């Protein structure tokens, strides 16, 4: 009954071709040509340029009402038309992690509208969130997004709205990786 | 800035002598004479009888008001008079993990009074919670408690109250390990 986990290995081979690796906040990640997504927490092979790992854990802020709305609207990964993708590794600050649960929830949704903003872009953008802070990884979250090429502008707008929110003041590292299906 | 992590290794040697390993719900754990608590997520050595690992992560349900009250009242680990300890590895059911955040909070505190019950036993019982579900461990939580021998009856009462709560209907495995400082 362990939660599903995934390893994102950047190197020469993989099902996704890396188009761009852009440091958004803080240090970026090394250039690589392809990304391979593997099931499980796999150790980095020497041939990989970088490897990031995360776990699809339980909901941390989402209420039952929000979860029901998301379940109705959010598409699955792997849609044939969704040939573009983005991987956004993010690390939040110690100040964020020192907040109590109700304080983080208030910033996340009541003041930053994280879930509400995301809902505006469904079903155009499919998404899977991976947690990795407790694994001792360099990032706290890895979010994987898939969309059709004509919806990349909408995806950019989604990111711009989130990055302008109070929640993003707590982001101390963010890398924006864009990909297309190989 | 990675969260602190600990490895609990049961075997022949360690700073704590194991007095009893009692299966409370579901399968127990093998008998061993001592417990060694190591810093970090250490791999199990072949000499160990069993090894459990966990991370001291961020607060998951505690509000800022509750955290302030806990900070005022909770004692540190390692008090000289606290020569008794308990380790309680717990795994919750898939039904628990499928609940949204507000639903789990409502069971945890509004209906089961988990934090409120715990506060009744402060400063007699010191406590450190470790999360391990996302690590792929056999348990979801390891809670380590320290108290003076004369407070063991109070600690038993604390456990009895929690075990009678609605939250405990979601516990599918619990082992109750009692120890004394070696």
Residue B1: what pLDDT?
63
Cβ pairs bridging A and B (under 8 Å): 73
Which residues are paired to B22 by β-bridges? B176
Residue B176: what pLDDT?
98
Tell me, yes or no, if B133 comes closer than 8 A to chain A by beta carbon: yes
Distance from CA of A142 to the nearest CA of B (A): 14
Size of chain A, expressed as the number of residues it contains = 182
Contact B62, A100 (CB under 8 A): yes
Tell me, yes or no, if A97 comes closer than 8 A to chain B by beta carbon: yes
Residue A1: what pLDDT?
63
Within 13 Å of residue B74, how many CA atoms lie on the same side as its CB? 18
Cα radius of gyration (chain B): 16
Q: Which ranges of chain B have pLDDT less than 70? A: 1
- Comparing CA positions, the residue from B156, B131, B127, B177 lying closest to residue B9 is B177
Residue A142: what pLDDT?
98
CB-based burial label for B46 (10 Å; 0-12, 13-18, 19+): exposed
Are B99 and A64 an interchain contact pair (Cβ–Cβ within 8 Å)? yes
> The pTM is what?
0.95
A98 backbone dihedrals φ, ψ, rounded to 5°:
-80, -10
Chain B: residue nearest A138 by CA? B2
- Find which of B58, B61, B67, B170 to mutate to test the A interface (most A CBs within 10 Å of its CB): B58
Helix (H) or strand (E) holding B101: helix B101-105
Distance from CA of B106 to the nearest CA of A (A): 11
Tell me how far CA of residue A152 lies from CA of A33, A166, B28, in angstroms. Answer: 20, 24, 52
Size of chain B, expressed as the number of residues it contains = 182
Tell me, yes or no, if B39 comes closer than 8 A to chain A by beta carbon: no
Mean pLDDT value across residues A16-24:
98
Are B63 and A100 an interchain contact pair (Cβ–Cβ within 8 Å)? yes
Torsion angle in degrees (nearest 10) through CA of B67, B73, B76, B82: -140
End-to-end CA distance of chain A: 32
Using an 8 Å CB-CB cutoff, list chain A residues near B58: 97-98, 104, 133
Chain A: residue nearest B3 by CA? A134
Which residues are paired to B141 by β-bridges? B90, B131
Nearest Cβ partner of A64 from B3, B100, B133? B100
Tell me, yes or no, if A95 comes closer than 8 A to chain B by beta carbon: no
Distance separating alpha carbons of residues A115 and A161, to the nearest angstrom: 12
Residue B68: what pLDDT?
98
Residue B17: what pLDDT?
98
Nearest Cβ partner of B2 from A41, A59, A136? A136
How does B58-86 read in b/e, with b if 16+ C-beta sit within 10 Å?
Answer: bbbbbbeebbebbeeebeeeeeeebebbb
- Which residues, in sequence order, are CB contacts of A169 under 8 Å at separation 6+? none
Chain B: residue nearest A96 by CA? B58
Are A105 and B101 an interchain contact pair (Cβ–Cβ within 8 Å)? yes
A75 backbone dihedrals φ, ψ, rounded to 5°:
-85, 165
Mean pLDDT value across residues A135-157:
97
The answer, yes or no, to whether residue A29 has pLDDT greater than 90, is yes
Tell me how far CA of residue A170 lies from CA of A90, A108, A174, B62, B107, in angstroms. Answer: 10, 10, 11, 20, 29
Record the tokens describing residue A99, joined without a space: 């907040």
Distance separating alpha carbons of residues B102 and B96, to the nearest angstrom: 12
Using DSSP's 3-state secondary structure scheme, residue A52 falls into: strand
Are A59 and B136 an interchain contact pair (Cβ–Cβ within 8 Å)? no
What proportion of chain A, given as a percentage, has pLDDT over 90? Answer: 95
- Comparing CA positions, the residue from B171, B179, B3, B4 lying closest to residue B89 is B171
Distance from CA of B101 to the nearest CA of A (A): 6
Band the pLDDT of A47: cuts 50, 70, 90: confident
Residue B46: what pLDDT?
76
Using an 8 Å CB-CB cutoff, list chain A residues near B61: 101
Using an 8 Å CB-CB cutoff, list chain A residues near B103: 63-64
**Residue bearing the bigger pLDDT, A163 or A42:** A163
Distance from CA of A164 to the nearest CA of B (A): 25
């Amino acid at each position: 009954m362990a939660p599903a986990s995934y390893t994102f290995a950047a190197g020469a081979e993989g099902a996704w071709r890396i188009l761009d690796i852009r440091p958004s906040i803080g240090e970026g990640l090394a250039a690589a040509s392809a990304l391979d997504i593997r099931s499980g927490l796999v150790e980095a092979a020497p041939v990989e340029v970088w490897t990031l790992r995360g776990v699809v854990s339980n909901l941390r802020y989402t209420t039952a009402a929000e979860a029901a709305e998301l379940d109705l609207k959010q598409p699955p990964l792997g849609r044939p038309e969704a040939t573009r993708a983005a991987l956004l590794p993010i690390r939040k600050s110690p100040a964020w992690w020192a907040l109590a649960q109700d304080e983080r929830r208030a910033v996340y949704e009541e003041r930053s509208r994280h879930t509400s903003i995301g809902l505006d872009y469904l079903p155009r953008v499919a998404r899977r969130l991976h947690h990795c802070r407790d694994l001792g990884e360099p990032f706290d979250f890895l979010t994987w997004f898939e969309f059709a090429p004509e919806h990349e502008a909408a995806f950019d707008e989604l990111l711009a709205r989130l990055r302008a929110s109070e929640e993003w003041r707590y982001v101390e590292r963010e890398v924006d990786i864009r990909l297309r299906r190989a």
